[in-house]
Structures are given as structure tokens and as C-alpha cells.
Structure 1
Amino acid sequence: MEGPTSREPETVLETDRLLLRPWRVSEAAVQREMWAERDPRVPPHRRIDPQGRPTIEDIEGWIRGQSRSGSLALLAAERKGSGDVVGYCGLIANTHGQDDEPELAYELLRRAWGQGYATEAARAVLGWAHESGYRRLWATVRAWNVASLGVLAKLGFAETGRVERDEAHGDLLFLAKRL
């Protein structure tokens, strides 16, 4: 069986202030900085472990293994003009429900908080999701993450009433949005 004769174009989304595009291996340190900055209430598998993992080398491997096209991807959020990457935004497979209803995911470096980048990037990703044929998106967020809940409210996500109780890390709320 023959493979495709041409590659799909890379996914690149543009907003007024951001380019959302595939990660570059040279940006692994940015991802590791996000891991290091995470709130201590974030579950341990999403923080740097006592052995220092993930390392920059681990993250470089993850970036090399990512698809550079398609409708499921976490895209680097690069500020136009300066070219610095301040976080990511994209769609991931929904491990909590329907396969054809992905989850919106975003995270920013602390120095980029409070400037509207998460909302701006997520709006672009919502458009991309709609163009990709998705009719509903999910988002999960810890109840203590008031800033993220605010972003999701601005985007029109509504709480579904589903909650995974977690005394150690904070309850996980499930939100959804019809596109």
C-alpha cells in the first residue's frame, strides 16, 4: 500500500497578537518552564517529579513525535512581533467521553497571565474546531482555578454538573460548549 504523496499542511492559526503553530524542538525549555511553574495543587503526573522529569530532553522527544497537522494538537502560542512563545492552546483527545468531542486545553507561562492571551488563543481554536467538523467541545478544570474558569465562561462553556471529586488536588469540573 502506498503512502500519501504530499504532506498535509501544518496547522497554523493567527489572531491579532498571536500565531498558534506546531512546537519547535528548540522550544522545549518553554514547555519545561510551564511544568516548573504549575500550582502545587496540580496532580503530580503533571508536575516535575523528584527525579527532575520530564527533562528538556524528554520534552524534545515529545515534540519530535507530535503530528504537525490534523485537528488534534497543542499548538505553541507565539506572540507576534517578539516571536516569544508564552504557552499553548489546542485540542486533545477527550479521555472522559465522546471520541468525536475533543477537549480544549491551554496553558500560559505566568508572565503572560492576565493579558487576554488564553481567551484570544482559545477563540481561534474554537473556530478551528468548528471548521474541522466538531459540534461540541469539552474542557476540564480544577474548581480552584478561577482564572481558567473565567476564560471558559467568556468563551461560552457551561458547567455540565459532572464533577470528579478529588480532596488532594481539587475537584475536577467538566464544562462543554456546542459549536
Structure 2
Amino acid sequence: MPVDPRATTLTTDRLVLRPQRVQDAAVFHRLWTERDERVPAHRRLDADGHPTEAEIVDDIRQRRRGPARLGLLTVVQKESGEPIGYCGVVWDAEGDRPELAFELLRSTHNRGYATEAGGAVIGWAGDAGIARLWASVWDWNIASRRALEKLGFVETGTVIAENAHGRSLMTMREISR
């Protein structure tokens, strides 16, 4: 019987990437509060504070009941045992384009954690038979663009969205196994 990819735990020198737990909702909610003001409104807390931690808990529970495929993992610092964000694979609406996604607490930026976690996820995706990963990134998000470049992603020339918030660029990486 195949292993449910949602039950996967990945480890690196400094990190553990594990399935999301409802207890992670506080960290994920904090990520929503820390987002850059240039991020589109639907990806920031609204005026009423939504999504709330309770709504994020519900989202985590729903994903657990969803299709058994690669998804988002909670990124935990090995040394402290504290969750610092997420990294994993998200899918487009049709379910046929896997994208690398990562977001970490600001207090952990500029330490190479996104690159380290992303590398583990790329290996995980390759082991699952995924031949290509995509990643979208805002043109102004230099740190994420740099992490994606270090991970072997190249800009495709496709602009997914262009608005007052900037341009959302599509990047891609072939995975060889």
C-alpha cells in the first residue's frame, strides 16, 4: 500500500519539515500579520482580522481530508523545536501544476532556511515522480527570488498578474531523478 505523502517528515541539517498540525495555526496566523503591504489584499488579514486562527485550524483540518498528495509542511527549527513557517507543494486549480511555496517568519529571514527547506521539498517532489516544479514570486520580493534562483528555478518570462502590487512572475525548475 502506498504511503500517504501527507504523512512525510523531511529533515535537513537545521530543520524538520513535518505535516501541519492544528497547533501550528498561531504561527500561520502570525505569517498573515507579517505580510508585506504590497501583497494583494486577499493574502493579508482583512479589516475584521480574517482569517482568524480558528479559520486557519479549519483549513488545516480540511487539507488533511483532501486528496493524498504532496502538500504544505510546517517548517520547524531543529534546535528550538519551534515552528517558523511552511514549505511544500501547492497545486493549481486544475491540480496538474505543482508549485513550490514557502513562507517563514520575518525573525528567521536571511539565514538560508527557505533555501534549505526548498531543497528538501524538491527532493521529496522528485521522489514522488514530479518532473517539474513551478513557483510564482512578486518582482519586488528580491529575497524569495534569490532563494528560488539558488534552488535552480529560472524565470519563464510569464507574468501571472500585473497590478498596483507589482508583477507576479512564474519560475520553473526541472527535477531530474
Q: TM-score, normalised by structure 2?
A: 0.91
Q: Which runs of 5+ in 2 are unaligned?
A: none
> Is the contact made by 1:78 and 1:87 (CA closer than 8 Å) also made in structure 2?
yes
Considering only aligned residues, what root-mean-square deviation do their CA atoms show, in Å? 2.0
Structure with bigger gyration radius: 1
**Match 1:89 to one of 84, 87, 90:** 87
Separation of aligned partners in 2, 1:7 and 1:154: 30
Q: Tell me the percent identity.
A: 50
Matches within 5 A, 1:115-130: 115-130=111-126
Alignment match, 1:133: 129
**Match 2:53 to one of 36, 51, 56:** 56
1:158 lines up with 2:154 in the alignment: yes
* Alpha-carbon shift at residue 99 of structure 1 (Å): 4.2
Structure 1 or 2: more strand by fraction: 2
Q: Which runs of 5+ in 1 are unaligned?
A: none
Q: State the secondary structure of the residue aligned to 1:83.
A: coil
* Alpha-carbon shift at residue 126 of structure 1 (Å): 0.2
Q: State the secondary structure of the residue aligned to 2:162.
A: coil
- What is the number of equivalent residue pairs in this alignment? 173
Separation of aligned partners in 2, 1:99 and 1:27: 25
Which piece of structure 1 moves more, 119-128 or 8-17?
8-17
User: Quick one: structure 1 residues 99 and 54, their matched pair in 2 at CA, closer, same or farther if it must change by over 3 Å?
Assistant: closer
Matches within 5 A, 1:18-97: 18-67=15-64, 70-95=68-93
Q: TM-score, normalised by structure 1?
A: 0.90
Separation of aligned partners in 2, 1:71 and 1:151: 24
